[in-house]
Structure 1
Amino acid sequence: MFSGTLPFQNSQSPYIALAPMEGLMDGHFRELLTAVGGIDHCVTEFIRITKQVYPQRVFKRFSPELAYRGEQCGKTRAGTPVHVQLLGSDPQLMAENAAKVAAMGAPAIDLNFGCPAKTVNKSQGGAVLLQWPQLIHDITAAVRQAVPSHIPVSAKMRLGFKDKSLALENADALASAGIQWLTVHARTKTEGYKPPAYWEWISRIKDRLTIPVLANGEIWTADNAQQCMQQSGSDILMIGRGLVATPDLGLRIKAQHAGSDYQPQGWQQHLQLFRQLADDIQHLNDKQLTDRLKQWLHYFTMQSLEISAVFQQVKRERDKEQFFAKLDQAIIEVGKSPLRREDFKQYQHSGF
């Protein structure tokens, strides 16, 4: 029986969680985004559990926040809790790893039943498990039993693997296993990340369960968030790509919901964050660093004419020194000649 406190208790509406994004949402990124504000908790990239109970160094690699001492353990420097996410199909191994990371100070354990990646699904992890409600129940029940009663255990699921026929059954299976809340990405594995997200299905699941349900999927703006809350019936949101594209999206959502004034960050402030990330990941080799930075710039192009133009100048550059030289020159040029809305077509959603 759970004896702890839910993070949503005594929190202002809406509550916003930062979603895990494999290969992007690491400790450096969490530090930047939680420092901006508007994020109530984070979830790590998934840790794939296959054949062993990992040593502490593995968990600290995915969640460096576990290395902090005292009350700061398991939190970013901004004080935002970081929940540790596990992915796997062996109930006993999942339980043993969950117990170990909980003992290290993880504020909560989250179980991944939503990852759509082919390599993960082929090894019986993530969304593929939604074909077998009893198995996800058994995995979850084993973890809940192994983790101390004061530490929450949650799960994240999609609406299904190939279709939505088992969505309600899977939600029941997870809830009956003893989780404290369920996050629902409102698409199936087959639907991937293509719009729309089917928020009305979250409402169906929420009406069926007695535990909190977090709504996830296709929240890019404050207006999207309001629409999601209306259709899903949940004011507890999880946002991934939207917060990457607009780092202060959480603050924008909360301000709009409260009817208060808020001055959104501009493209210059976003580039300051970008520069900070570049400084934080200088240990990477040239290709790793430039690929990572271009990935974030590409997300920024979705909401900024200026950064779209900057991105065009650096998107093919892999040498670190040349990348920053072109970046600085592009920023100067964009600053001299403000772009017009009709210029947006040539920059929007350009690939790399």
Structure 2
Amino acid sequence: MRIMLAPMEGVVEHHVRDILTRLGGLDGCVTEFIRVTDQKLPYKVFYKYAQELENHCQTPNGTPVKVQLLGSKPEPMALNAQELVRYGAKAIDLNFGCPAKTVNSHEGGACLLRTPDRVYSIIKAVRDAVPRAIPVSAKIRLGFEDRTSYMENAQAVEAAGADELTVHARSKADGYKPPAYWHYIADIKAALKIPVIANGEIWSVEDYLRCREQSQCADVMLGRGLLSCPDLARQIKAYLAGEEYRPLTWGEVCQILFDYYRLTTPLYETRNCGNRVKQWLMYLSRQYPEANVFFEAVKRKTTPADIEACFIQAMDVAAAA
């Protein structure tokens, strides 16, 4: 079985991919989507979202990274896929699942699920444009307004020549509200010959086991669940192997977060230096109650000195617990 790290716009950038893959248990990652319109993008745009291009499309610990494209027109998507391969991409992923209004209003992401023939045309153009040795995969939801088109879209993905399909087990209209409808994925897996990866609402080992039973997929993709529990992939792998495993303590997570903060602070204006940490704390608060306490202390802090003081206090409290 494989566990993949999901592409999450504005969240899972290359530093986060590095941190989570170093923790272990992950077999691959997908970048945030790169928006394609009508033009060939310059290398600097690809590099912004996929800095692993300069490391053989691997994170520093050697975990493979797929580069994801999002767009609505076959020809520009194919052209930019070719460019990515020229720059070193080892695998291309195509986004048909993003539910964001700004993306959908420009005919990208999940809105394309209303027209399976367009899904087919985009994938077919990309598949024909890049060498056969370069895997082309796609990520879809179960539909747009509802879940009635799930099989038609999944079959379009396979018919177009995709090598793999990831299914987020909700429609666009479902958003991220529980539950995830994993049983639809079982129907897709039974109908398709290509590998199928289940995604959506996996927050724990128990969720993984329920997802595997209902979706009939051993392979999963983790997004928010991994941000809330950074070693979830390791926990799942250890459970399946029958191994003892001690989950990360809050103190260990806090140190990881502090290292991430120090690494990324130079990349932002001073007044924004803590934004990514605050964002991650919101996810962590689901698994670690201490993260919510930390967030309340740091949420209005805007200077590096004040934010570091909050970190020191949080780590001191964790060490004393």
TM-score range, shorter chain: over 0.9
Q: Measure how far apart 1:260 and its partner are.
A: 1.4
1:62 aligns with 2:49: yes
Q: What is aligned with 1:128?
A: 111
Give yes or no for contact 2:273–2:303 (8 Å, CA) kept in 1. Answer: no
1:185 aligns with 2:185: no
Counterpart-to-counterpart distance in 2, 1:196 and 1:286 = 39
Q: Residues 22-37 of structure 1: matches in 2 within 5 Å?
A: 22-37=9-24
Of 303, 310, 314, the residue aligned with 2:298 is 314
Q: Measure how far apart 1:326 and its partner are.
A: 2.5
What amino acid sits opposite 1:306 in the alignment?
E
Of 36, 50, 53, the residue aligned with 2:37 is 50
Any gaps of 5 or more consecutive residues in structure 2?
A: none
- Percent identical: 48
What amino acid sits opposite 2:31 in the alignment?
T
- Size of the alignment, in residue pairs? 320
Structure 1 window deviating more from structure 2 (53-62 vs 283-292): it is 283-292
Runs of 4 or more, structure 1, over 3 Å off, are: 333-336
Any gaps of 5 or more consecutive residues in structure 1?
A: 1-12, 339-352
Counterpart-to-counterpart distance in 1, 2:271 and 2:115 = 40
Q: What is aligned with 2:270?
A: 286
Counterpart-to-counterpart distance in 1, 2:102 and 2:289 = 35
Counterpart-to-counterpart distance in 2, 1:127 and 1:135 = 12
Of 79, 85, 88, the residue aligned with 2:68 is 85
Q: What is aligned with 1:142?
A: 125
Aligned CA-pair RMSD? 1.1
Cα 1:190/1:287, change in 2 over 3 Å? farther
Counterpart-to-counterpart distance in 1, 2:86 and 2:231 = 33
* TM-score (normalised: structure 2): 0.97
Give yes or no for contact 1:313–1:330 (8 Å, CA) kept in 2. Answer: no
Q: What is aligned with 1:9?
A: none
**For each residue in 1:215-271, what CA deviation from the matched residue of structure 2 results, as whole angstroms up to 9, or x when unmatched?**
000001111111101100000100011111111110000111222111111111111
* TM-score (normalised: structure 1): 0.89
Structure 1 window deviating more from structure 2 (84-93 vs 266-275): it is 266-275
Q: Measure how far apart 1:306 and its partner are.
A: 2.3
Q: What is aligned with 1:304?
A: 288
Q: Secondary structure at the match of 1:154?
A: strand
Of 294, 314, 327, the residue aligned with 2:311 is 327
Q: What is aligned with 2:194?
A: 211
Counterpart-to-counterpart distance in 2, 1:288 and 1:66 = 27
Q: Measure how far apart 1:332 and its partner are.
A: 2.5
